[in-house]
Structure 1
Amino acid sequence: MPLYVKDPQVDALATQLMALLGTSKTDAVRRALQNEIARQTNRPDLVARTADFVRALHERAGPDRKPADAAFIDGLYERT
């Protein structure tokens, strides 16, 4: 089944990748698509990434962490 690329920028990118890889344009497009699918498939979902981020913040704050009250937050915006 043919794939027609009507966007000149996409064609230029495919040509550039073809030259870098030393392959045909079809193979360059195939590899680019395979790499992007693998990248999207292997990335953790947003909930897992957010949970990891919050966990890291808690670890960094340590056991003696204090709540971020209004005075603390206001202090972040004071000019020095």
Structure 2
Amino acid sequence: MFGLFLLIIMGLVAGLIARAVMPGRQPMGFIATTLLGIAGSFMGGFLGSIVSGHSWRLMQPSGFIGSIIGAIVLLWLGRKLG
């Protein structure tokens, strides 16, 4: 239970930092920002596995920096596709 709480808090902080770093306005609420950070964590783990050459698992959370980078990539993709 505590691990889930930490995942949510880390996702929120990573999402807030990614939104602050990315130029422009991102109209998102509290829940969307948290989900962005959590998804960014998994995206960061995926990108890290590509760079390192290790196998990727579906549920592989990355570190805090990887979470922020993954969230920035997701924001960028959302802007380009939306």
TM-score, normalised by the number of residues in structure 2: 0.30
Higher helix share: 2
Looking at both structures, which has the greater relative contact order when contacts are Cα pairs under 8 Å and sequence separation is at least 6?
2
* Larger radius of gyration between Structure 1 and Structure 2: 1
